[in-house]
Amino acid sequence: MDLHGIDLNLLVAFDALMAERNVTRAGIRIGRTQPAMSAALSRLRGLLGDELFIRSPNGLQPTPRALDLAEPLGYALSEIQRTLAFTQTFDPAVSTATFSVALSDHPTFKLLPVLLDALRQKAPGITLRIHNFVARDDAISILDAGRADLTIGVPPTSTARILTRPLFEERFVCVLRRDHPAASGPLDLDTFLSLSHLLVSPENERFGLVDAALASMGHKRRLAVTLANLYAAPLLIARSDLIATLMEGVVKASGHSHSLAITPCPIAIDPVPFVLAWHRRNDVHPAQRWFRDFVAGLDLA
């Protein structure tokens, strides 16, 4: 395979296809027509000797070869972009840049409305592309593939190429329906263990932080419901005899706190940190750096 003199535009097309998984959207992303993108993909397939992207009901799916190429090519393009743009100043007030952000469920509710309002005032021309993810280490694959400029969620597994910055923490509280018999006084450990519990586990695990804390004390609770949807929990608690241990911010943002008794947990549980994460290849780019600082400076109180 002779890549001497390869057209850099083909690599830009590959990066866009990797991010969008759709020929039309990839063309829009880099300002090319669908026929031009299809032609670029055909040339890439010939040069690399691989299909690269396979059509599926969910859009274009990258082959293993494409996944292998995504990070080094994305890094190379970012380095070229950084080199060309490094001395440029970034003015958010007049910028029409597009930033891609991937968020887990809670930051979507807590941070995104604040971010949109702040951008409307400080950088009205900027466009956001919002994605969602569930498992913490999905952030790594999203950033590796260049599908987002930054992610916001609980800290992913530590790796040198992914950089992080603390954003906020959420402490845990116990919630019951407001007229629950156990809500009439302080919640002690015996009462806590006597109740049926709802566990929120976006990753579908049946052993959470509460269970780990109880196990260290030689105790075990009865799980009546395991739920993946974080923001459905407060409503279910308000309409049942169950108890749940939830992040306080989730309870407040759910719109159901008026129907709930909110009380401190009778066991010690560390608060959950949420971090902003980005790929090292984007670390020094002026626009990327401005956007990270902007997000980190939001007032989330």
- Count of CB atoms within 10 A of residue 101's CB? 21
Most confident range (mean pLDDT) of 70-79, 107-116, 279-288 is: 107-116
**pLDDT score for 87:** 46
pLDDT over threshold 90, residue 31: no
Compute the distance between CA of residue 99 and CA of residue 94 in angstroms, rounded to an integer. 15
Per-residue HEC secondary structure of 125-185 comes to CCEEEEEECCCCCHHHHHHHCCCCCEEEECCCCCCCCEEEEEEEEECEEEEEECCCHHHHC
Is 278 exposed, middle or buried (CB count within 10 Å of its CB: 0-12, 13-18, 19+)? buried
Query: What residues does each domain of the chain span?
Result: 8-85, 99-169+274-296, 172-270
Q: Is the pLDDT of residue 138 over 90?
A: yes
- Name the architecture of domain 99-169+274-296: 3-Layer(aba) Sandwich (3.40)
The pLDDT of 36-65, averaged and rounded, is: 89
Q: Which amino acid is at 284?
A: V
More confident call, 80 vs 43: 43
Cα–Cα distances in Å, from 132 out to 1, 31, 109, 153, 224? 38, 25, 12, 10, 28
Residue 11: what pLDDT?
86
Q: Which residues of 28-41 are buried (b: 16+ CB within 10 A; e: fewer)?
A: ebbebeeeebeebb
Q: Which of 29-33, 84-88, 96-100, 243-247 has the highest mean pLDDT?
A: 243-247
CATH 1.10.10.10 given to domain 8-85: yes
Q: Look at residue 194 and give its three-state secondary structure.
A: helix
Rounded to whole angstroms, the Cα distance separating 210 from 212 reads 5
The confidence score (pLDDT) of residue 57 equals 86
Please, are residues 112 and 130 in contact by the beta-carbon 8 Å criterion? yes
Enter the tokens of residue 159.
């790796």
DSSP state of 195: S
Containing 206, the helix (H) or strand (E) segment is none
**pLDDT, mean of residues 278-292:** 91
- CA of 244: how far to CAs of 249, 263, 290, in Å? 14, 11, 39
In CATH, 172-270 is 3.40.190.10:
yes
How confident is the model over 208-258, as pLDDT tens digits? 889 999 999 999 999 999 998 889 999 999 999 999 999 999 999 888 999
Note the pLDDT of residue 244.
97
Does residue 3 sit in helix, strand or coil? Answer: coil
Average pLDDT over residues 253-281: 94
Cα gap 158→76, rounded to integer Å: 23
Torsion of CA 25, 139, 254, 272, to 10 degrees: -170
CB-based burial label for 61 (10 Å; 0-12, 13-18, 19+): middle
pLDDT at 86: 46
Segment 135-141 shows an average pLDDT of 93
pLDDT of residue 85: 54
Q: Which residue has the higher pLDDT, 203 or 168?
A: 168
Mean pLDDT of all residues belonging to the chain? 90
Q: What percent of the chain has pLDDT over 90?
A: 61
Measured distance CA(229)–CA(237) in Å, rounded: 13
Q: What is the pLDDT of residue 1?
A: 42
Q: Tens digit of pLDDT for each residue in 155-171?
A: 999 999 999 999 999 99
Contacts 24+ apart (CB under 8 A), 50-55: 52/14, 52/17, 53/17, 53/21
CA 73 to chain centre: 23
Question: Fold match between 99-169+274-296 and 172-270?
Answer: yes
Structure tokens that stand for 141 in this block: 């694959």
* Per-residue pLDDT at 2: 45
